[in-house]
Amino acid sequence: MLPDLTQYLWIAWLVLALIFVIVELLTLEFTFLMLAAGTLVGGLGTNLLSAPWWLQVAAAAGVSALLLFTIRPLLLRALHRSSALIPTNVDALAGTGARVLVPFIEGAGSVKLDNGETWTARLVDSPADVAVGTRLIVRAVRGATVEVTVPVPDPKENTHG
């Protein structure tokens, strides 16, 4: 005669919840975390109340679905709200100040950025007679060349000393 394995079903619920937690640690999308919580609350909870196995499965599926469609979107929204888009690397160079190192000839020259890097530069929307040491602003990066322009003076600034 075979033993009644349903009395050990609580072990299966714990193992399944542990597997879901491990998979969640690899994916970090809150999907398997909701399945693990549904497994523990629905499956193991009804098992502890001595419910039949089919009711345990139904409760685990129901609680998991409820958590997936209610709590998971709230958690994802809270997670992504705090992660603002911050430009890095080349994308962060736009708006950076620069000084002319080599005079511009036909719109091409060399500048030293405020971060200390020296770049080949193309002068855009500015007069061609920019002297060495003149302050410029990086508008964009095009390959290995930065597009620079002469900064527009702020009318609110007092330039009369």
pTM for the full model?
Answer: 0.55
| Average pLDDT per consecutive 10 residues, the chain (161 residues; last block may be shorter) | 80 96 95 97 94 95 97 90 77 88 87 92 80 89 90 65 50
Number of folded domains in the chain?
Answer: 2
Task: Among 50, 81, 112, identify where a domain stops.
Answer: 81
For 89-114, give one letter per residue: b (16+ CB within 10 A) or e: eeeebeebebebeeebeeeebbbbbe
DSSP code, position 43: I
Q: Nearest to residue 30, comparing CAs of 61, 75, 69, 62?
A: 75
Task: Among 37, 60, 81, identify where a domain stops.
Answer: 81
The answer on 76 and 124 residing in a single domain is no
